[in-house]
């Protein structure tokens, strides 16, 4: 739960930091007056001083606009990260609760088990088991405790491993799917030693 109204530790309100202070724009009155040789000040600044002052004002406005755009971009990026994290956590919670069974809320307990999963084989001969309901994917090497993703082990929130997923797929009425597999891509388990395919 976010604390939009509670002040944070640095005294700012809301989840975002306060924007950087606006740059100070010099005014004609604050500009030093040109001096004459006798030490007296001129009453009016020169045209060059006015031109420089106008250019400085324009640059200050541009810097202020750039800073506002940067603050807005950072705020959007931070909110996008919060939303992505929340969406990921919601998907994990949905997958952990899913029973992977057809029938939904109206399913009768005595009804035959028909899992809503299927096996898919990719073009590189790799297989996954996917649930239609929660979009969970099990891959070879997954155990009940951990999932193998990107070469790293992460906790398994479903508590079902690869073997459990294959059992569910065998009990399902769904047909397996497959990409086209070229003949030269065959796993070592399927290739018979000494024979050409």
Is the pLDDT at 183 greater than 90? The verdict is: no
Mean pLDDT over each residue of the chain, to the nearest integer: 79
Structure tokens at 58: 């324009």
Encode pLDDT of 41-89 as tens digits: 555 788 888 899 999 999 999 999 999 999 999 999 999 998 888 888 8
The answer to whether residue 147 sits within a structural domain is yes
Out of 97, 121, 152, pick the residue that ends a domain: 97
Residues 140 and 91 reside in one and the same domain: no
- pLDDT of residue 160 exceeding 60, the answer is yes
End-of-domain residue from the set 72, 97, 122:
97
CB 37 within 8 A of CB 50: no
Compute CA 174 distance to the chain's CA centroid, rounded to the nearest angstrom. Answer: 32
Task: Say if 68 falls within a structural domain.
Answer: yes
Domain count, the chain: 2
Range of the domain at 55: 21-97
Whole-angstrom Cα distance, residue 169 to residue 118?
5
The Cα angle at residue 148 between residues 104 and 84, in degrees rounded to 5 = 65
| SS3 assignment, position 55 | helix
């Amino acid at each position: 739960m976010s604390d939009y109204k509670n002040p944070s530790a640095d005294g700012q309100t809301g989840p975002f930091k306060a924007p950087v202070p606006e740059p100070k724009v010099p005014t004609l009155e604050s500009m030093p007056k040109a001096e004459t040789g006798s030490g007296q000040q001129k009453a009016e600044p020169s045209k060059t001083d006015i031109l420089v002052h106008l250019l400085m004002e324009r640059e200050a406005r541009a810097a202020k606009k750039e800073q506002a755009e940067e603050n807005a971009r950072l705020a959007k990026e931070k909110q996008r990260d919060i939303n992505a994290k929340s969406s990921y956590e919601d998907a994990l919670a949905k997958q952990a609760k899913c029973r992977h069974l057809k029938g939904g809320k109206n399913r009768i307990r005595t009804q035959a088990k028909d899992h809503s999963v299927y096996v898919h084989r990719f073009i590189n001969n790799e297989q996954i088991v996917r649930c239609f309901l929660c979009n969970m994917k099990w891959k070879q090497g997954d155990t009940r405790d951990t999932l193998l993703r990107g070469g790293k082990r992460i906790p398994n929130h479903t508590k079902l491993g690869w073997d459990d997923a294959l059992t569910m797929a065998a009990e399902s009425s769904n047909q397996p799917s497959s990409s086209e597999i070229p003949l030269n891509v065959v796993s070592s388990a399927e290739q018979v030693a000494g024979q050409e395919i």
